A and B are shown apart, each in its own frame.
Chain A
C-alpha cells in the first residue's frame, strides 16, 4: 500500500507508547546487523551491510585527480548514493532524489569530519596529483534506516580499501599495481538513527515505523567519542529532551556498532 493506513499508524503508535514494538524489539534495540567485506573484487574497497532486511552495498574506487585549490595537499573524497528502484516500489529510476542526496551528504559528513581517512596521505604530489576516492552507495533493499546501514558500509569498505602504490616521477604518476597498501583509517565512526513516534524516540526504525515518523535524528559518533555528524529530518519538531536522549543512547550503542566493523 502506497499510503500508510490510518489504522496501521494508530496501531504502531499505540504499541510504541507502551514501550513495545511490532517486531518485539526494545525501543533502543538494533535489528540483526551483518557486515561483509570485499564483496566486489573489481572495487578497491567494498562492503555489504544488512540491518534487518535493509541491504546496502558500497564500492570504493580510487582515481588520480587534481586537489581542490584551497586544499592542495589533501586527497578528495566523493560520496554518492543511489536509492535503486529495486529497493522499494516507490523508488523511481532517474537522477538522485532529495533523499538520496541527503543520505550521501550526511554519510560523507560523518566520514569527513571524523577524519577517519587521513587525507594528507592521499596526496601524491602537492597541488598537482592526489588520490580521489569515489565512494558509491548502492541501496538494494529498503526496510528502514538507511543512514546507519550506509555509514557502517562506507566505513567497512574504506577499512579494507587497498590502493596501488603511487609515486610521482617525471611529472607523471606511476602506479604499481603489484604493491598495494591499505588505506589507513585513523578511527572508525558509526551512526545511530532515531525516529519520533508518539512521544517516544525509537532506535533503528523498521520500514513500517519509518513510514509513520514524525521526526528523525541521526547521530554520528567516532570511536573516541566525538560527535562528528548530526541530521534531523521529518516534518515535525523535536524537543531538546528528545535530542539529548537520542545522543545518550547513540553513545551507548556506538561500541556495539563499531564492534561489527572490527569483526573483520
Chain B
C-alpha cells in the first residue's frame, strides 16, 4: 500500500508506504511503514522508495573526483576543504618521493586542486590522491559552487549538458562531485558559463531544461536564439531529458553500482583534456572500474610518449615533475644499503638508469599485453593503497612505489621498495634486468 507517487514532494515523518515496499535512501522503516527522513521528492523504482533531498551536504566517497581548496599545510600532508562536513588530507607521498621538499612550495593555502577521494574510513576521515587523469592544481579561471545533488543534472546524460556548454563557450570546465566547478576561458565566456551553471542549478528539477539552456547559451553567447533544431536531434534531446530526470534518483549513495556507472559515464566529459583520442573507447569493458583503469592506461602511455598529458596553462601536476637528480641520488644511496627483503633490488649499476629509460619503450608494448584484469587487481585493492600502481614513467617516478604497506610503521618517509606483486610493472623490470646481465 503506497501513499505517494513518484516525484511527489515529501517532508520528514511522512508515511510513504506500508508492508512490502523497500526503504531506500532518505527513508527509514518503522515496523511495516516506510517513512521519509528528508525534505525532497519521491523516487519510486519498482518496490523501492527513496527520497531525493532538496538540499544535502556532500559526503566524500571513495572513488569520487572532487575539487578542494588547501586549507592547511602540515609536515607531511596538506589539509583540504572539500565544501563538506569532512575535510580531506592529501599525503605528501602523493607528490614527493623520499626526498621531501617544502610542501608549501608545491601547494599552499588557497590553492585549488582537482583530486580523487582515495579512501574514506568509518569515521569519515578522508584521504585524497592526485593520481588520475587531469588531476592537480588549477591555475586561473573561476570557481562556481552548486549543490552536490545537482551535479548529475549539470553533467547530463553522457555529458550532454556539460559538453553543450563547453562547445558553445569554448571554456574548460571541470566538475567536482562535491559541487564545485572550475571554469576557464575568455573572461566574458567564463561569466556566461558561470551564470548558465547557476541557472541549471536553480531549474534542475524542471523538464525541458536542456533545450532551454541551449537557447540561453546561444542567446548569451551569440546574441540570438538559434534556429530550430532539425528533427533528428530533437528526439535525442527529449529522451535525454527523460534520462536526466531519472538521474537524480540514480545518484543514490547506497546504490554503489549505479553511481559508479554514472560516474564513469561522465568522467569522460568531466576532465580537462579533450577526448580526441579514439582509443578512449578502450572502455568497452563491462566492469565499471575498468573504465577508469583504461584511462589510466592511456595516461601512462601518453606520458611516456609525449611528456605530460595535461594542459600546462590550466593545470600542473607535480607528480610528473623532474626528479631526475633525486633519483640518481637515491640509486647511489640504495646501492650502499642492504636490499632488505626487496625481491627486486634496484641495480647497483648507475647505468641501469639508462636501461630503465630504455625500458619505457618496452612498456609501450607491455601495457597492451597486461590485461585490464591485472590492473584491476592492483588498482582496486581496497585495504592497501601501497599496492597502487604509480605512474609508469621512467625511473624518475620510481619513488612512487615507495608507499608503505599497511602494517608498516608510518614514519612519513616512503622507502624505496618496489611493489613486487605478480603482474606488476616490475615484472617487466625483472625481465630487463635479467637480460642486461646476459
Contact = CB atoms under 8 A, between A and B. Distances in A.
A15 to B, nearest CB: 7
Interface string A153-167: 000000000000000
A40 B143 CA distance: 40
A19 B187 CA distance: 13
Interface residues of A, number: 15
Contacts of B138: 7
Contacts of A2: 71, 81
Contact of B112 (A5, A15, A18, A22): A5
A6 B71 contact: no
Given A3-B69, A5-B110, A11 B81 contact: no
Interface residues of B, number: 19
A6 B81 contact: no
Given A6-B110, A7-B112, A1 B140 contact: no
Contacts of A10: 140
Contacts of B139: 7
B109 A7 contact: no
A4 interface: yes
Interface in B129-152: 138-143, 145
Given A3-B69, A3-B71, A9 B110 contact: yes
A97 interface: no
Contacts of B112: 5-7
A10 B110 CA distance: 11
Given A7-B138, A7-B141, A8-B142, A14 B187 contact: yes
B111 interface: yes
Contacts of B182: 7
B83 interface: yes
5 contacts: A4-B110, A6-B112, A7-B142, A8-B142, A11-B140
Interface of A: 1-11, 14-15, 18, 22
* CB-based closest 9 A-B pairs: A6-B110, A11-B142, A5-B112, A5-B69, A7-B112, A1-B81, A1-B69, A5-B110, A8-B143
Given A7-B139, A8-B143, A15-B191, 5 more contacts: A1-B81, A6-B111, A8-B142, A9-B110, A15-B187
